[in-house]
Structure 1
């Protein structure tokens, strides 16, 4: 069977601004074999073009092979209300994605309040979002992650700010990004793939693995990010396979669940 690959970015290919050893060889093998793949991220701050530049620390990932929660959110809104309007709390990755589907970004009676990741949340912007939701704007958030990583420790992320708006308005957002399998299905459509011959590689049980499972994908958990062997046992579901890193797949991308990889791990 020829496999297609979906993979998380942070914790799988990179760790903060550093390349995870073996990620370059893994992606080079996929490209050499012309294996369809797409890199996923719940972070909506950067555009796909910006992320491609960020990955140039040793990885050559085409812009078309990067799929963000901002792009998935834009595609979802285009399917729900084409040519609509939104008040956006977020950065260029999200505003660019919405502009590209023809959305008007406004604080005057928008169809939606769309919350994404940002490093500059302002009290004024959050207050505006709360008042617009109270007046009937539909509440969308790019992803439910409560925190994000940084060199100094955890940072409040989209889910934490969404909780603030929910507490003030009583309205829960609809989250588009992982673990919503909608993120997986939109990525599959992006590369023309089907769930039965696609696998998801991630470093988190609560987003990557569960969203892959719910979208009908085979899943690989790597231990180069959030998860540990002990933490895997805390969940009622399991990935198809647990590997130390994507480096273990080098030479085995066409046989990711077969005996060849088992033998290689035993050597």
Structure 2
């Protein structure tokens, strides 16, 4: 089996589920650190800051720092900074997205914004939809932090940002620029931060539509873990096949330790 110099690790359904670490996740991360293999937590979740994500992991007993976290909010702000720094933005989203946009110098407004950025927003309203759609119809560029139609919670799958961006997109008759997985934009930025080459980096995740397709779209091998969204049966029918499939990270750690 091929060895890898770096890992891009999904969080929900891969490292944790709800407020609990998935069995074997801590041991797998410890193995990577012991082997001096760098990794980055790569998440489509735009609601939390890297600091908040790291604290959440620490509460689960996982050693994590903000520098090991890269979110779709971070990638969105980086992308926009490269294309139109300091412009005006109407934001649908939560604190993680707001923090990144403000830190990168964007001006948040409801009046004639140049961009409309949509991230997960659990206080989404018709009024927010109307403001966003009107702005886009008047010429604002539409950006989605990520396309996830649903997100795993303690209550089961709940509407994700893909559901919100679909509403705005339909209302504005405009397709968005998507930043997060499965698009290669976020993966490119994550590789720059991780410092490894695509050919030597493995994407690990539980979702065929985001994690595994992100690998395929970016020239990276991928590992599907069966601890979250997608099943082995889903993989059999999916157009994009993962490079590897494993029951969980414990099984994968044992496999790479054996080198088979």
- Asked whether the 8 Å contact 1:224–1:244 carries over to 2, the reply is yes
Q: Secondary structure at the match of 1:6?
A: strand
SS at match of 1:154: strand
Counterpart in 2 of 1:265?
none
Please say if residues 249 and 261 of structure 1, whose CA atoms lie closer than 8 Å, have aligned partners that are also in contact.
Answer: no
Q: How does 1:1-267 map to 2 (within 5 A)?
A: 3-56=5-58, 57-250=60-253, 260-262=258-260
Which sections of structure 1, spanning at least 5 residues, go unmatched? 263-267
Contact between 2:8 and 2:204, CA under 8 Å: does it hold in 1? yes
Which 10-residue stretch deviates more, 243-252 or 139-148? Answer: 243-252
Residue correspondences, number: 257
**Which secondary structure state, in structure 1, belongs to the residue aligned with residue 162 of structure 2?**
helix
Q: SS at 1:140's partner residue? A: strand
- 5+ residue gaps, structure 2, are none
Contact 2:208-2:235 at 8 Å conserved across structures = yes
Contact 2:4–2:202 (CA under 8 A) maintained in structure 1: no
Contact in 2 for aligned 1:143/1:178 (Cα 8 Å): yes
Confirm or deny: 8 A CA contact 1:29 1:251 kept in the other structure.
Answer: no
TM-score (norm 2): 0.94
Give the whole-Å Cα distance in 1 for the aligned partners of 2:127 and 2:6.
44
Give the drift of 1:4. 0.4
Moved over 4 A (4+): none
User: Which whole-Å CA distance do the structure 2 matches of 1:125 and 1:89 have between them?
Assistant: 7
Query: Normalising by the residue count of structure 1, what TM-score does the alignment of the two structures yield?
Result: 0.92
